[in-house]
Amino acid sequence: KEFLAVFESNDAATRRMPKALLSAFDNRSWIPVTNILLRLCKGSGSGSSKHGESSSSSVVFQKLLRDACADDEELFGAFLNRLFNTLSWTMTEFSVSIREMQEKNHVLEFQQRKCSVIFDLSCNLARILEFCTREIPHAFLFGNDMNLRRLTELVIFTLNQMTSAIDSEFFDCSVKRHGQSAEKINRGMILAPLVDIIVNLLVEGMEAESREQNDVVEVLASMDCPDTVLCGLQYVLEFDWTGFSKGNIHFAKLRQVEDFLTNLISRMGSREQDRSVSGQEAECDDSVCC
């Protein structure tokens, strides 16, 4: 905490570090930058579920990061694109590593270490993405919907990697390092920020309902993999959050996700009905003799 206080009181650090961190998030430096960003953003969102993290976070730098993202849309857009790509890559690597161990039916120490590290990195990246949706939601909800589409695709992709062909026992065995308990390492670590991402967008959408905005439900309903979308969200609702949630925080958010899923199912049904009607009309047109 004392180190953060020094940085917060340093004029050069407060002026230059936020944009410098966003710029430095690249193929070479993304891991140390991720660690720094995570340290600054701890204690908020899904990060608040870990005991004691709020004491080591920086409200000052969280505001400075938010302002830097809002003031320089080009810089934030480039950072967000790299964040999407990096999380997609880590989740793909994690899925491939898990699949290799399943096929061999044996967990080697170096493979376990690799899975554990990749999973930790994925969780950290997801938490930074959650911070973006909470602090800069307009980047996803207003204007071009590309950021929202990439975000929802990544959330569903990550959920799919967590739910497909990985039983809980094998997952724990693959990512848990020696001496760590199941409470320290479990799927809730990456599911929690995904829940927060969805809820952040829902809350901001309701607060800004008077403004024209991108429709989160419509974006998900229009995806080409409806079964994957619904299975992923249902898995979140059925996940055993015991020992992971803080008070009733996660349970309140899960109720919001449940309502969201109900609306999504309804929207998907309406779209399917519209397609059916359009198909019937097309058949009638084709059958008309000229």
pLDDT tens digit at each of 290 positions of the chain: 677 788 888 889 899 999 999 999 998 999 999 999 998 887 666 555 444 444 567 889 999 999 999 999 999 999 999 999 999 999 999 988 888 887 776 667 788 888 889 999 999 999 999 999 999 999 999 988 999 999 999 999 999 988 875 666 677 667 766 555 555 567 888 999 999 999 999 999 887 766 788 999 999 999 999 999 999 999 999 988 877 766 556 788 999 999 999 999 999 999 888 777 666 555 655 555 44
Q: What residues contact residue 128 under an 8 Å CB cut-off, 6+ apart?
A: 34, 37, 38, 41, 83
Angle of the 146-163 helix axis to the 226-238 helix axis, nearest 10? 60
pLDDT at position 169: 67
* Distance (Å) of CA 69 to CA 75, 116, 173, 185, 222: 7, 31, 39, 31, 29
How many angstroms separate the CA atoms of 157 and 232, rounded?
9
pTM, rounded to two decimals:
0.86
pLDDT at position 66: 93
pLDDT at position 290: 45
How many angstroms separate the CA atoms of 246 and 168, rounded?
22
Q: What is the CA radius of gyration of the chain?
A: 21
pLDDT at position 228: 93
pLDDT at position 201: 94
pLDDT at position 207: 77
pLDDT at position 156: 95
DSSP letter for 102, please. H
DSSP letter for 54, please. G
List pLDDT tens digits, range 214-244.
999 999 999 999 999 999 999 999 988 877 7
Under 8 Å between Cβ of 77 and 150: no
pLDDT at position 49: 46
